Amino acid sequence: MKLTDVVLRNFRVAKVFRENTDRINSLDFSPNGETLISSSDDDSIVIYDCQNGTPKRTLNSKKYGVDLISYTHAINTAVHSSTKVDDTIRYLSLHDNKYIRYFQGHTKKVVTLCMSPTDDTFLSGSLDKTIRLWDLRSPNCQGLMHLPGRPVAAFDPEGLIFAAGINSESLKLYDLRSFDKGPFATFKLQQDKDCDWTGLKFSPDGKLILISTNGSVVRLIDAFQGTPLQTFTGHTNQRGLALEASFSPDSQFVFSGSADGKIHSWDTITGARVAVLNGDHVGPVQCVRFNPKFLMLATACNNMAFWLPQVDE
C-alpha cells in the first residue's frame, strides 16, 4: 500500500494506550520500525511493540527524569536527557534498565538530542547556548560549539552533515568531518515575531528541512539552497507549546500535532493541507512520528495513539 492523500485521510486510531499519568514528551521508532519508545513527564519510559500493538515494558527514571529519548543503533539501548538533578545525558541499556555511560558538560536544560543515522555519534544542544558532539563509546565530548542563542540541530539522512538552527533566524550547515572550521553554508531566514524554533528535521530523502516552532506555524526549507518552500498553518497552538512536526518516510507529507488534540497533515510539494485527523486526544498533541518501515502513525498527549489506514472491506 502506498501513502497517498486518500490513504492518509483514511487513517484511524487503531489503539489508544493509557500507560502514562503525565504528558508524553518524546518518542522514537526503532530503525526497523518494530518498536516505539516514549518518555514522559511522569519519569517513565514505555516501549511498545508496533506489530502486535501492545506495550512491551515500562522503565522508570524517577531520580533524573527523562526527556528527548532516542534509540541508538543497537536495538536495546537508548539515550535521553534529564529533567531533574542535572543536565547530564544518559545512555541506557533497556533490557536490564542500567546506565552504560553518562555524558556530562551541559550546564542548562538540553533541548535537542539527535542520534546519527549511520554511526555512534550524536548531537546535543542546550539552553547553555552550546551544541556538543558525542560518541557513545566515550564519555568525553568530541566537539563543542558556542552559539549566540538557543539551538536546534539535526543530522542529514547520510550522517555526513548536520544543521543547526540558531536564535530562530539562521540555519547553519556543518560538515561532520570538519565542523570545527565553521559552517559551509549559512541561510538567514525571516525571523518569526511571535514564536521560536523548537525542532529541526531533515526529510528522509535529504532534500528538505522542517522547522517546528512553539507557534502556529511549521516551516519547510530547501536543504541545499536554504530557500523557504512552504509555510504550514491551520493547527492551533495558543499556549506556546513545542509541537513536534515530522515527515512521512517518502518525504511527501508533513504531520504536526495541535493544541486541540487533532493531527494536521500537509503535502510537501504543494503546501496544501491534506487531512485533519481526529483521534480524540484529551490534550495537546506534542509528539507525532511516522513509522519508518510500516504504514503507521504514532501520536501522543498523555495517551499514546497508534494510527492505521482503514481499508474498505
Which residue has cell 566515550? 138
Handedness of CA 244, 282, 12, 30 (dihedral sign): positive
Region of 104 (left: φ > 0; alpha: ψ -120 to 50; beta: rest) is beta
The rounded distance, in Å, linking the Cα atoms of 38 and 28 is 7
The rounded distance, in Å, linking the Cα atoms of 139 and 105 is 10
What count of other Cβ atoms lies within 10 Å of the Cβ of residue 162? 24
Please tell me the chain's helix, strand, coil percentages from 3-state DSSP, rounded to the nearest 5: 5, 50, 45
Query: What is the count of structural domains for the chain?
Result: 1
Are 235 and 258 within 8 A, CB to CB?
A: yes
- Can you give the pLDDT at residue 221? 96
Q: What are the φ and ψ backbone dihedral angles of 162, each rounded to 5 degrees? A: -135, 155
Across the chain, which has 313 residues, the per-10-residue mean pLDDT values are: 91 94 94 94 94 92 82 90 85 92 92 93 94 94 89 94 92 90 92 86 97 94 95 90 94 95 96 92 94 96 95 62
The rounded distance, in Å, linking the Cα atoms of 222 and 224 is 6
CATH code for the domain of 176: 2.130.10.10
Q: Which residues pair with 134 in a beta bridge?
A: 122
pLDDT tens profile 24-40? 999 999 999 999 999 99
pLDDT tens profile 145-180? 998 888 999 999 999 999 999 988 999 999 988 888
Question: Domain range spanning residue 257?
Answer: 5-309
